[in-house]
Amino acid sequence: MDDETRLIRAGATPDKLAKTVGPPIQKGSTVLLPDAEALYDDHNRVTYGRQGLAAQAALADALAEMEGAAGVALYPSGLAAVTGALLAVLKAGDEILVADTVYRPTRRFCDTVLKRFGVKTGYFDPRQAPEELVGRAADATRLILMESPGSLSFEMQDMTRTAELARARNILTAADNTWGAGYLYKPLEHGVDLSIQALTKYVGGHSDVFMGSAAARDPALVRALLDGVVQTGWSVSPEDAYQMLRGLRTLPTRLARHGESGLAVARWLAVRPEVAAVFHPALPGAPDHALWARDYSGACGLFAFALKPGPAAAVNAFLDELTLFGLGFSWGGFESLAIPCDHQLKTRRFRRDYGGPLIRLHIGLEDARDLVADLESALSVYAGRIG
């Protein structure tokens, strides 16, 4: 053979790879199949690299094990996991019922893309009784999308009872379970059909990689999810899948620290004179505490609190005084974060009075005593601004 051909053929992938504790990172678009018949057997084997290779398969298998699922589809972001799951099961003429406290980009997708494609969206109060919620479903209702606790304000939903009643009417249920991370709460074990989460948050754990997942127990739903990924052209890189799998290994240890510190900070805030209310379902005395205690094995580090009433300038002064809490979106990483929420609450149908400006905190892995000191300094500034 000519040198050109020899260089193209040299250094081929070895038949056997050394066994390591993590999966190999395989980079490739073309997958070489064993024979002609296998070229179009894409339901039983990987025929193209976009379907995912060793690292993606290892991550999906590990997530399925954690979620108690028959299969898991991977998406390039948490939002893509929500939108991908919806597109996999909805069609023109369907209706979807969505918790009013759902993640704002999910709401935007429902109000724009789904509307354009002929899917009607109705929003429900997250504290509406499951019997009332399922009772309002129309013949066209195909899916109920829940998020418990709800984004920003942390209302809980009885997903177990809702799933039970919906199944009796042949209505699918889905849960954005990013707060529970597939570990603190397992929707599929409670009868929910689709468990969705932004792996970007706690599974990744370091605020440096995007990914989402959707899990199901029904093989037909798993097939619909996986077909949807292929049909829309989504893929995740092997490097990102490897990082997510690495994060998954330490998820229980990190969540325990996030949860413990989060509750410590929440308890401290609950008795501060500058604070009107704390919204953390794991906090004893919270409105939905009994529901959380029934279904969840623990808490993460995300919750909210309301300052006593004050102007926007005072809220900004409070936030700007923080030094250990970064001001930024997302959560689930090692660092603590804070954002004001009132701007995002304006699109809700069922508005509540939370007692004052709403602040969401993510409690990271720093020492809780240092975080309390940081908040104390900022609260003093806020108190000075409101008199």
Residues with catalytic roles: 50, 103, 176, 201
Give the C-alpha separation, 260 to 364, whole Å. Answer: 10
Give the C-alpha separation, 302 to 283, whole Å. Answer: 12
* Whether the Cβ atoms of residue 255 and residue 212 lie closer than 8 Å to each other: no
Over the chain, what HEC string results?
CCHHHHHHHCCCCCCCCCCCCCCCCCCCCECCCCCHHHHHCCCCCCCEHHHCCHHHHHHHHHHHHHHCCCEEEEECCHHHHHHHHHHHHCCCCCEEEEECCCCHHHHHHHHHHHHHCCCEEEEECCCCCHHHHHHCCCCCEEEEEEECCCCCCCCCCCHHHHHHHHHHCCCEEEEECCCCCCCCCCHHHHCCCEEEEECCCCCCCCCCCCCEEEEECCHHHHHHHHHHHHHHCCCCCHHHHHHHHHHHHCHHHHHHHHHHHHHHHHHHHHCCCCEEEEECCCCCCCCCHHHHHHHCCCCCCEEEEEECCCCHHHHHHHHHHCCCCEECCCCCCCCCEEEECHHHHCCCCCCCCCCCCEEEEECCCCCHHHHHHHHHHHHHHHHHHHC
